[in-house]
Structure 1
Amino acid sequence: MKRISQNIIRQATLSVGLATALGIGGQVFAQAVYPTADAAAEALVSSIATGDQDKLKHVLGADFHRYVPRDSVSQDDVYAFLAAWSQRHEVVGTSETSAALVVGQHDWSFPAPIVKSRQGWRFDVREGAREMQHRRIDRNEFAAIQTLQVLCAAQERYRSSVGQGKAAERIVSREGQYDGLYWDPAGQSSPQSPLTDDALVMGPDVPADAALHGYRYAILLPADETGCAFAAWPARYGQSGVNSFVIGRDGTIRERDFGRAATIKDYQRVGQANSSWTQAVP
């Protein structure tokens, strides 16, 4: 897994939200072409700034709402894009027939490239959809690594408090008990849970649409006294993520691409991880 910075994560989040807001989710038709890449970029930004759906159809294709319903548009993502545009914007040539729209102080690039044909310049929304998917997976995999670290820290807090030296064997406690890393705060006398209610969407059986950062998580048993033995795998292989991850008592995170949708049965005990797992670099 390639190294991913916090800036890339912010950029990936913006790209997913904005691309969704603009309807980049499949092939669209009847797009306008422009004499230059700059003219295409100006047309896109003008349609976003004015909220003019007819202009968006002209820039991206008449049927882009077929792929993303109107009520799924996030205004926050649109505002973030326009704010970045106002800070800085540039159309950067990537080849003789391709250019990228780059905005903001962190050089965020719009996921759909501007490409040149015999008719003129237009946004390649099909390539934009692929790029958006790559960025979503990068973001989710980075978040999965961070979540494994959070789980190990929660185990340590559990052991030093309600666990009385023992690690939890569940992510979510059974009702009325404190045998997991999260429990429902029933009253003021309830001790503080080591995890937030994000734990409710971490489990191995959580629905794919609800899975935290597109990943499912589980404690690997039997664990050592630290309890830092967790696995994370994509809820939808190839869509929400590709690599699966494990973490052990030393805090080292390893990754593996099973080439298919993994299950909890695919994981070995962390201490026995072999050469099929490689160390992840967050």
Structure 2
Amino acid sequence: MIRFFRENQQLLIRRMVMHTANLKLERVERFWFFWLPLMSAVALLLTVMVWVRVSVAQETAQPTYASAEQATQALYEAVQNDNEQRILQILGGRKELASSGDELEDKTERKQFAAKYQEMHRLVWQDDGSMVLYVGAENWPFPVPLISEKAKWRFDADAARQELFFRRIGENESVAIHTCHALAGAIVNNHRESTSDDEITQYALNLVNAPAVNTRRTPADPFYGYYFRKVSDDSEVADGAVVFVAYPAQYRSSGVMTFVITSDNVVFEKDLGPNTARLAKAISKVTPDLSWQLAE
């Protein structure tokens, strides 16, 4: 009897042990059943993310070239094909070097560069060991120099940022002044259509024929980094009064000075500061005061 009881007791203990083991095994199986697919998915996602990052890094990495000539040829081909992404890559991923933000201006500048490059181009050594690309018969210097590192050439984007910034502002302001004079000329010619295919002349004619824009609205699109606002219609304009206002789309980025053109074809300029857009929209058809200077 005792032996039978002991055997039953031992059997019961074994069953309890086996039951406990089965419960643990079942819990483990449940754990892996529910969590293994999720862990696998997370691992796969992490792998994909790493792969994407590596791929993007490889795609956006600035290319280097065996010679400065190869680098300039690659840039020319990208510009000729109007491939902004490739231009951006060649110039070190600096958006401000590849685009002004004005699509019309970008296309015009790229066409001009490609034409000048075909006309003539040469590389000139600088005192610091870099090289500068000159294009066209006028020997226009490309603002991004080339440098050599470990026998590989690339465009030095860091050195070009400030140079290009000042150039772009100067060019935009020059175009703005010419456009102001073209606007006055279009008014004198009584809005007659011009046979000229000059970009500035055509833009001025279209703007003169448009209705005046009130002080609460911003003109639709910038022209070479500047907004042009028609202040009043011709019949309302007194001698020497403001007819158009030209102000930078982005102050200290696309331009600095604000320009006004009067009815007698005189252009004045003034730095309106950080609140340029608001102040320029408030300019009415009054004669400019002494705080405005003649634009050169």
Partner of 1:273: 289
- Distance in 1, Cα, partners of 2:181 & 2:168: 20
1:79-90 mapped onto 2 (5 Å cutoff): 80-90=112-122
Amino acid corresponding to residue 273 of structure 1 in structure 2 = D
Q: Does 1:31 align with 2:62?
A: yes
2:206 to 197, 200, 203: 197
Which whole-Å CA distance do the structure 1 matches of 2:243 and 2:178 have between them? 14
Greater relative CO (CA pairs within 8 A, separation 6+): 1
Correspondence for 1:219 among 225, 231, 251:
231
Identity value in percent: 27
Superposed, which structure 2 residues align to 1:1-282 within 5 Å? 30-34=61-65, 37-38=68-69, 40-45=71-76, 59-60=90-91, 80-117=112-149, 120-128=152-160, 130-158=162-190, 196-199=205-208, 200=210, 203=213, 207=218, 210-213=221-224, 214-219=226-231, 223-225=237-239, 229-262=243-276, 263-264=279-280, 267=283, 271-274=287-290, 276-281=291-296
1:216 partner SS: strand
**C-alpha RMSD of matched pairs (Å):** 4.6
Give secondary structure in 1 for the equivalent of 2:245: strand
TM-score by length of 2: 0.53
Describe the SS at the equivalent of 2:126: strand
Instruction: Please tell me whether the aligned partners of residues 140 and 240 of structure 1 are also in contact (alpha carbons under 8 angstroms).
Output: yes
Unmatched runs of 5 consecutive residues or more in structure 1? 1-27, 159-180, 183-194
Q: For the pair shown, which has the larger CA radius of gyration, 1 or 2?
A: 2
- The alignment of Structure 1 onto Structure 2 pairs a total of residues equal to 214
> CA 1:270/1:118 → structure 2, altered by over 3 Å: closer, same or farther?
farther
Structure 1 position 121, deviation (Å): 3.5
Unpaired runs of at least 5, structure 2? 1-58, 193-203
Contact 1:33/1:121 (8 A) holds in 2: yes
Please give the secondary structure, in 2, of the residue aligned with 1:148: helix
Contact kept in structure 1, 2:121 and 2:136, CA below 8 Å: yes
Find the aligned partners of 2:158 and 2:249 in 1 and give their Cα distance.
24
Residues 188-217 of structure 1: per-residue CA shift (max 9 Å, x gap)? xxxxxxx73334498456656613332232
Q: Which position in structure 1 is the counterpart of 2:9?
A: none
CA deviation map 1:161-220 (0-9, x unaligned): xxxxxxxxxxxxxxxxxxxx79xxxxxxxxxxxx73334498456656613332232327
**Greater mean alpha carbon deviation, residues 80-89 or residues 33-42:** 33-42
- Inter-CA distance 269–61: structure 2 relative to 1 (3 Å threshold): closer
1:134 positional shift = 3.6
Cα distance in 2 for partners of 1:136, 1:63 equals 15
- Normalized per residue, which structure has more helix? 2
Shift of 1:102: 0.9
Q: Alpha carbons of 1:206 and 1:269: their partners in 2 closer, same or farther (altered >3 Å)?
A: closer
Measured after TM superposition, the shift of residue 101 of structure 1 is 0.7
Alpha-carbon distance in structure 2 between the residues aligned to 1:250 and 1:209: 27
Q: Note the alpha carbon deviations across 1:226-269, whole angstroms, 9 max, x for none.
A: 65543221232223321101233553322111222422366487
